[in-house]
Amino acid sequence: MMNIRERTEAQEYSILSPLAAKSREAKRDFGQEECPYRTKFQRDRDRILHSKSFRRLKHKTQVYIVAGDHYRTRMTHSLEVAQISRTIARGLQLNEDLTEAIALGHDVGHTPFGHTGEAIMNELTGHFHHNEQSLRIVEVLEHNGEGLNLTEEVRDGILNHTGPNLPKTLEGRIVRTADRIAYLGHDYDDSLRAGLLKEGDLPEEVYASLGKDTSEMITSMVGDMINNSLGKADVAPSREVKAIMDVFRNFMFAHIYRSEALAHERRQASFVLKELYNYFLTNFFELPQEFVQREAEWGRAKIVTDYVSGLTDSYAVQLFQEIFMPPVGFMVH
C-alpha cells in the first residue's frame, strides 16, 4: 500500500503537465530517508520556511529603509512571489511545490538595506550577488554549517532567479518572472503609500496595458504569463507585456530605486555597512564563535562577508551604535 508521499508522487504524473518537474525524480547531494508524508519539494519548502535566514527576512528592507508596519519587507516580498508563482504554476499544470520552495528561498541571501547593501558588499569584496549568496546559505551556512541539503531543482531555481542564466526547470522560470511581477506591483504600491508617487505618475502605456491599480496590474501580468505559455516548452510573458514591464521597471529605477528622495537613506546604509565590514576584518575575533571557527576553511574576508551580509537592518544599526557610538548618559566629562 502506498504511503501519502508515494500517492502524491503518483498523482503528479497523472495531473501535472509532462513538462512539469516531478518530485520523485528530484536529486539531493546527500541521500536520506524519505518522508512518508511529504515529497522532496515539500520538504525543501519546509526547510527553507523554518530556517534562520528566512526568519531574518522580516527585518530586511525591500525598498524603504525607514518604513512603517504597512510597507513590504524582504519576507513579505518572498511570500508574494510565492503566491504569484503558485498561481502561474497551477494555471500551467506545473509543480506548485517546487515553485513555492524556490520563491521562498530566492532572497535569503539578501543583505540588510536592500539593493543598496548588495551594491556596497559588491564594492567592498569585489564580487557579491545576492542570488549566489542565497545559494551559499542553503548549501553551506544554514544548519550549523551543514546546509539544508535541498534538491538540485530548488538550488538551481534559487541561483538563477536573476542573472545571465535561465533556470533549468519551467518552475524556476516562473519564479524568475514572478519576482519581477511582485516587486513592480508592490514597490509601486509602497511608493504611493510613501507619497513619492501619486496615481497617474506611471507612463500612460503601463496603465493602458496593465490596469490602473496594483491588483489589476499583477492580474494582467500573471494572466499574460499563463496565456502566453500554455502548451509551450517555456514560460515567459508575451513580447508586448514584457516590453511594458521593462518600461515600468525603468520608471521605478529612475524615480524610486535611484531617486534623490532616498539618497540620504542610501548614504546612511552604505556608511554603516562599510564601517562594520572593515571593523570585523580588523577585529575578527569579536565575531560570534560559530563564524570565527570557520577561519581555516573559508578565510577571514569570506567569513566577514557572510556575517555582515546576513545581518538584519535593525541589528546592523544596533551593532554600529554599540561599536562606534558613545553611551549617551554615561559620557565622562
Per-residue CA distances from 51 to 48, 57, 141, 147, 148 (Å): 5, 11, 11, 10, 9
Give pLDDT, residue 259.
86
Residue 333 has pLDDT above 60, yes or no: no
Residue 322 has pLDDT above 80, yes or no: yes
| 66 band by pLDDT with thresholds 50, 70 and 90 | low
The percent of residues above 90 in pLDDT, for the chain, comes to 89
Tell me the per-residue pLDDT of 182-217, one tens digit each, with 9 for 90 and over: 999 999 999 999 899 999 999 999 999 999 999 999
Give pLDDT, residue 157.
98
Residues in a beta bridge with 151: 28
Calpha distance 248→161 (Å, rounded): 19
Is 289:139 a contact under the CB 8 Å cutoff?
A: no
In 213-333, which residue ranges form alpha helices assigned H by DSSP?
A: 214-229, 239-252, 263-282, 289-292, 295-298, 300-309, 313-324
The percent of residues above 70 in pLDDT, for the chain, comes to 96
Tell me the per-residue pLDDT of 303-319, one tens digit each, with 9 for 90 and over: 999 999 999 999 999 99
Give pLDDT, residue 332.
53
Residue 299 has pLDDT above 90, yes or no: yes
Residue 156 has pLDDT above 70, yes or no: yes
Residues in a beta bridge with 173: none
Domains of the chain listed by start with CATH number:
39-261 (1.10.3210.10)
Length of the chain counted residue by residue: 333
Per-residue CA distances from 166 to 91, 158, 163, 175, 295 (Å): 21, 11, 8, 11, 34
Is 144:290 a contact under the CB 8 Å cutoff?
A: yes
Calpha distance 21→26 (Å, rounded): 8
Across 12-38, average pLDDT: 97
Give pLDDT, residue 280.
98
What nine digits make up the cell of 94?
Answer: 506545473
Residue 92 has pLDDT above 90, yes or no: yes
Least confident of 70-74, 176-180, 223-227, 324-328: 324-328
| 61 band by pLDDT with thresholds 50, 70 and 90 | confident
Give pLDDT, residue 330.
55
Residue 101 has pLDDT above 60, yes or no: yes
| 258 band by pLDDT with thresholds 50, 70 and 90 | confident
- Which residues have a Cβ under 8 Å from the Cβ of 215 and sit 6 or more positions away? none
Is 195:209 a contact under the CB 8 Å cutoff?
A: no
